[in-house]
Amino acid sequence: MEFTPGIYGSWQQVQEQKYKEMKRQLGGLFGEVFSGVILDVGCGFGYLEKTFKGRYIGADNSSEMLHNQVAIFPRVLADGGSLPFKNGSFDSVISIDAMHLIRGDDFKRVLKKGGTAMISIFFNDRNYVERKEMLREKLSGMDILHDFTIHGRENEYVAVARKI
C-alpha cells in the first residue's frame, strides 16, 4: 500500500489522540523534547504541530502534504535521508510514523549535541519486534532516555533519545 496524502489525511483524529497519549507518557521529558527549535522529519499535514505549540520547522518529501497543512509553521520540501540543514541546527528532532520511509539517520547530524530525538513508528502484532528493532537501530549511538508503546486504533512504539 502506498501512503498517500489521502490516507494520512483521513487519520487526523487518530493522530491527535495518539499525540495526547505521547504527551502523557512523556511526563517530565515533554518539556525537553518540545523545547527550543524543533525539526519534524516527515511532518505530513502538521497534525502534531497543531496539537503541540512550539518553534517548528517541518520537512516532508511530499509537496502536496506541505501545501495542505493544518498548522502554520515553516516547512521545507526535503528528503529525510538528506536534510538541507547545517550540522547541529536543532535542539530537538521528532519523526512520527515516517522513519520506515527514510533512508539512513541524517536526523542525527542536524541535531545538536545533547539534543533530544523523539521517533515513533506504528506497528501491528506481526511486525512489532521488527519495527522496534528498526527504530532502535536508527537511534544507535544515542542514549535512549525513555521508550513506550501506545495501543489504540493505531499501535505506536515511541523512543526518546539524547545525542551524546
Task: Set out the domains of the chain in order of their start, with CATH numbers.
Answer: 5-163 (3.40.50.150)
pLDDT at 3 over 90: no
Instruction: Report the percent of the chain where pLDDT is more than 90.
Output: 50
| Res 1: pLDDT | 42
Report the pLDDT value the prediction gives residue 28, as an integer from 0 to 100. 83
CA distances from 162 to 5, 128, 145, 155 (A): 31, 23, 7, 24
Give one word for 135, left, alpha or beta, with left for phi > 0 and alpha for psi -120 to 50.
alpha
* Average pLDDT of the residues of the chain: 86
| Nearest residue to 89 (alpha-carbon basis) of 103, 107, 64 | 107
CA-to-CA distance for 46 and 42, rounded, in angstroms?
Answer: 9
Q: Of 119, 61, 111, nearest to 89 (Cα)?
A: 111
Distances (CA, A) of 140 to 103, 110, 133, 137, 157: 14, 15, 10, 5, 16
| pTM of the predicted model as reported, rounded to 2 decimal places | 0.84
How confident is the model over 70-98, as a mean pLDDT? 90
Residue pair 105/34 in contact by the 8 Å Cβ criterion: no
The CA distance from 88 to 107, in Å, is 10
pLDDT bin (cut points 50, 70, 90) of residue 55 is confident
The tens digit of pLDDT for each residue in 100-158 reads 889 989 999 999 999 999 999 999 999 999 999 999 999 999 999 999 999 988 899 99
Q: What pLDDT is recorded for position 53?
A: 60
